Amino acid sequence: MSQTEKKKSSGFLVNLLFNIVIPTLILSKLSEEHQLGPVWALVVALAFPLGFGLWELQQSKKVNFLSVLGVVSVLLTGGISLLQLDPAYIAIKEAAVPGLIALAVLISQRSKYPLVKKILLNDELMDLTKLEASLKANNAEKVFAAKLQNCAYLVASSFVVSSILNYGLAKYLLVSAPGTAAFNEELAKMTALSFPVIALPCTIMLMVAIWYLFSQIGKVTGESIESFLRQ
């Protein structure tokens, strides 16, 4: 396994731990009054994804739209819950976040910095300078731009699916009043189920987009995709 693969594997596990596993355990196991209580259990549970998100922003040394949206999402969940607003607002928030990403992906296609390139073409994985040179040599830049547009539709669709599934899951599970142990347990269940119910289908759709992009790179450049991958 290469250093890049090890880094991505460990990064995925840490992400899973801080964003799903630890918050789920705290909300489901420590929300009773004789433990942390519903309010403090919620505060402590949300501190992990919030802290991790802020740490990622600090490590990257640059403002990342998706990371910022993730931090804002956690803050909104905490604010809605602590203010004991109707759980329907959380369902709306859960749908709005991936919905905004889908919209941003499509809108950014008209800018100099399309989000789909950042999502699918990783400089750590692929030699982008070599790819751009090959596209230019084959006079295939416009053709490739059209293929990227198709990928943008695929990626945006994956976030639309996430938006619909997020809303449905939140509406189905969050039925108790915020500020109670029962609500925290429902929030824990929603957090735990978000990976198999939402992340996996959307990941599959993203993998289809990556497969399509890689196959098109081979077609428009006349070279194998392996020739552009970093060793």
For the chain, give every domain's residue range: 3-228
d(CA 174, CA 162): 17
Q: What is the mean pLDDT of residues 89-115?
A: 87
**Bridge partners, residue 126, by sequence:** 229
Does pLDDT of 210 surpass 80?
yes
Q: In this predicted structure, what is the pLDDT of residue 170?
A: 92
Q: Which of 14, 10, 5, 38 is nearest to 182 (CA)?
A: 38
pLDDT tens digits, residue range 182-197? 888 998 898 888 878 8
Q: Which of 210, 222, 214 is nearest to 134 (CA)?
A: 222
Supply 83's token pair.
């203010």
Residue 177 · residue 84 · CB < 8 Å: yes
Q: In this predicted structure, what is the pLDDT of residue 148?
A: 87
In this prediction the pTM is 0.75
Confidence tier at 18 by pLDDT (50, 70, 90): confident
Q: What is the mean pLDDT of residues 33-37?
A: 79
Q: In this predicted structure, what is the pLDDT of residue 1?
A: 47
Q: In this predicted structure, what is the pLDDT of residue 64?
A: 58
Confidence tier at 169 by pLDDT (50, 70, 90): very high
Tokens 């009043």 belong to 177
The residues, any chain, with a CB within 8 Å of residue 168's CB and separated by 6 or more, are none
pLDDT tens digits, residue range 212-225? 888 888 888 888 88
Q: In this predicted structure, what is the pLDDT of residue 28?
A: 76
Q: What is the mean pLDDT of residues 123-129?
A: 78
Does pLDDT of 5 surpass 60?
no
Confidence tier at 92 by pLDDT (50, 70, 90): very high
Confidence tier at 50 by pLDDT (50, 70, 90): confident
3-class DSSP state of 126: strand
State the amino acid at position 142 in one-letter form: K
Kindly report the three-state secondary structure assignment for every residue of 171-229.
HHHCCCCCCCHHHHHHHHHHHHHHHHHHHHHHHHHHHHHHHHHHHHHHHHHCCCHHHHE
Confidence tier at 34 by pLDDT (50, 70, 90): confident
Between 176 and 49, the higher pLDDT residue? 176
Q: In this predicted structure, what is the pLDDT of residue 10?
A: 44
- Please give the C-alpha separations between residue 13 and each of 9, 19, 29, 56, 94, in angstroms, as whole numbers: 6, 10, 22, 14, 23
Residue 91 · residue 171 · CB < 8 Å: yes
What percentage of the chain has pLDDT greater than the value 90? 10
d(CA 119, CA 38): 37
Tokens 């355990």 belong to 25
Does pLDDT of 199 surpass 70?
yes
35, 39, 41, 45 alpha-carbon torsion, rounded to 10°:
180
